Structure 1
Amino acid sequence: MGHSQPSSEISVPIINLSGIQDLKTSKSSSALVQKLIKNIGNACIQWGFFYVTEHGIDPKLINDVLKVSNEFFKQPKIYKKTVQRQPNNYRGYTDSELTKQKVDWKEAYDFGAEYPAEVNTLENGIDLDAGTNQWPSDIPHFKETLLQYFSEMHSLSSVLMDLIFMSLNVDPRTMKHHFNEATDTSFCRLNYYPVCADANRNLGVGPHADAGVLTVLLQDNNVTSLQVQKDGNFHDVPPIPGTFVINIGDMMQVWSNGIFQAPVHRVLANSESERLSVPFFFNPSYETNVEPLNQSVSNEHPRRYRSINWGIFRRGRILGDYADHGEEIQIYQFEIRNDNDTEMTPNVDQN
């Protein structure tokens, strides 16, 4: 394995979610829920990364997702390219995704909710995520397994987001309208990292922060390749059976006014073992304008960001990921640099 740095003993927190049943039954004042809110808030402040256990997702479904993912990636390239991404549809298969203008050592397959037809075109002309799922033929239970998993991940993400907002003293009900399984821009990805003979010169995925709100990651149980940056060093995030790895993204950093930092993370290439992972990216609707929430702004923490339209931001990031269009859009480009710098337009090229 290349790129390794000595990983210190500190490790990403593990949070038991067994208290979410109280949250779902409106007992949000219970001691269990209050402890959960505090633990998740602290994890978001200190790491932006945490594991969850006792999350309630059926282990059989998790195994089935890894099984159909493995079956897909084991097919010949000519088969996988029958569901290749197209310029007008970013769902499907790719083996040429970029991170910061460098090709990742991986293959991927993206899918999302099955949109009703009328959602496919949005008023502002941005329809990057509202593409059509391209389902490969001849892999039993592929489509139904992945759509069930998508729905379960959307529900789990909603609960995690509620807890994160509650840790900021924000009523999560005021944020729900940005997230709807039929119309938001959440999507799921199957990642396959082949064995890499020259692991020192390649990365599975280069260092980056996720663009959206939060990511729920399923890792297979064989290989430690994921690393998160903290205090200038990269730390291993090894797979722990029965857990998901959660990380917050850029939009949650902006909503929190920088109280939470979207963590930089990367995936090492491996010279001995292949690896599967399944990230679910929880993202709002295109119309959502993300700006620091009032509860996160104070005299001690003045407003750090201008309003960011998620549709425009998503478009800028996706163009950098799928083709080399120069520097990817980043939230630092929306930072307020002085008291007069509060206009609502980003200082970035949106073309």
Structure 2
Amino acid sequence: MVVASLEPVGVERIRALSVPVIDLSWRRERASKMIVRACEEFGFFKVVNHGVSEDVVSSLEDEAMKFFSLSAREKQQAGPPNPLGYGVRGIGFTGDIGELEYLLLHTNPSFISQKAHSICKSNPSEFCDVVEEYVGAMKELASEILEMVGEGLGLGDKQGLSKFIRDSENDSLLRLNHYTAIQEDEANASKAGSKDSTRNARVGFGEHSDPQIITVLRSNDVPGLQILASSPEGPVWVPVQPDPTAFYVLGGDLLRALTNGRLMSVRHRAMANCRRSRLSMIYFGTPPLHARISPFPETVTPQAPRRYKSFTWAEFKKAMYSLRLGNNRLDLYRLR
């Protein structure tokens, strides 16, 4: 198992494989079936023709880069990450580190409004408007995808999944990750050590699965994201080619539990392997703290007996913060 590290990647298998692409302009029945298939096989897919305005995306990118371009002293006023706020290198509370700086925000408008004054002192109201517009677009996109998952799975309540993140008390988050460019001397040293610079790259954000229901990610045109996939030779890391016009969707631990293990919570990581900085903007669709997570009845059959105990998001969240980044959190709730 790989956890966050500053060491070179080493001899791991890295292979280019085709990543599922979902076109939301397809006939809905086809798109729903393809989404479920992608979640079963990869736990990950790329979304095109999603309908999200490029202006909404570029506005948040601009605000993010304005913030990350500030001096270290100014940025630290938006921290420390406890767990929300501005952080550098440290990931969580158990010693994991990465090659990045980040801003983690709750999507509740009152939180955004309060935090904006330490993030964008020149115009906090504009920052609030930009973030809230982006969060609204991500919430709608994530909800639509989850409703299509419900349809593809044949759930009696097609909105059973989307209800969690549409709830007014949802605990959803927005994370802005900034991976700074590797310095020239470091890049040259890496290149001199191997013909394959990817294999000598440093881990920017270590291997993990996302704990929430669904993750919707957008990044600039700098590569770095890798997902862990199966192959006849064993697990392989699959580099994801960046597409700054698309969104990438990842299934989380709660989606896996809610579907009785049928849909994957994909393990992934981000590499700091470029001479240009990488910005990723990540929406985590999350239920309210009191929401009880149990598999939908349609996913439990004699052939697929129940795999996980019931738990609340608050219980899972507490356990999450007590574990290392690379740990499998669902193992705590697996029925023996």
Alignment TM-score, normalising by the size of structure 2: 0.83
Give a deviation string over 1:95-121, Cα, whole Å, max 9, x none.
1432673211111112233356xxxxx
Choose which of 115, 129, 135 in structure 2 pairs with 1:133: 115
Q: Which residue of 2 aligns with 1:12?
A: 19
Identity %: 24
Give a deviation string over 1:48-92, Cα, whole Å, max 9, x none.
0000011111011111111111111011011101111354xx332
Larger RCO: 1 or 2 (CA < 8 Å, sep 6+): 2
Q: Which residue of 2 aligns with 1:122?
A: none
- SS where residue 332 of structure 1 aligns? helix
- SS where residue 179 of structure 1 aligns? helix
Q: Which amino acid letter does the alignment assign opposite residue 192 of structure 1?
A: H
Q: Distance in 2 between matches of 1:149 and 1:130?
A: 12
Contact 1:226 1:265 (C-alpha < 8 Å) held by counterparts: yes
Q: Which residue of 1 aligns with 2:140?
A: 155
Q: Distance in 1 between matches of 2:47 and 2:75?
A: 32
Q: Which runs of 4+ in 1 moved over 6 A?
A: none
CA offset at residue 40 of structure 1?
Answer: 0.3
- SS where residue 224 of structure 1 aligns? coil
Report the CA distance shift for 1:131/1:300 in structure 2 as closer, same or farther (over 3 A): farther
Give a deviation string over 1:21-45, Cα, whole Å, max 9, x none.
xxxxxxxxxxx11101111011001
Query: Unpaired runs of 5+ in structure 2?
Result: 1-6, 191-199
Q: Which amino acid letter does the alignment assign opposite residue 280 of structure 2?
A: S
Contact 1:91 1:133 (C-alpha < 8 Å) held by counterparts: no
Choose which of 174, 191, 215 in structure 2 pairs with 1:188: 174
Contact 1:317 1:329 (C-alpha < 8 Å) held by counterparts: no
Contact 1:107 1:192 (C-alpha < 8 Å) held by counterparts: yes
Contact 2:135 2:283 (C-alpha < 8 Å) held by counterparts: yes
Trace 1:161-310 onto structure 2 (pairs within 5 A): 161-170=146-155, 171-180=157-166, 182-197=168-183, 200=200, 202-221=202-221, 223-231=222-230, 232-310=235-313
Q: Which residue of 2 aligns with 1:341?
A: none
Paired residues, number: 306
Alignment TM-score, normalising by the size of structure 1: 0.80
Choose which of 66, 78, 81 in structure 1 pairs with 2:76: 81
User: Does the alignment pair 1:95 with 2:88?
Assistant: yes
CA offset at residue 229 of structure 1?
Answer: 0.4
More helix by share: 2
Query: Unpaired runs of 5+ in structure 1?
Result: 20-31, 117-128, 338-351
Q: Which amino acid letter does the alignment assign opposite residue 42 of structure 1?
A: R
Q: Which residue of 2 aligns with 1:55?
A: 50
Q: Distance in 1 between matches of 2:225 and 2:275?
A: 15
- SS where residue 105 of structure 1 aligns? strand
**CA-atom RMSD in angstroms:** 2.6
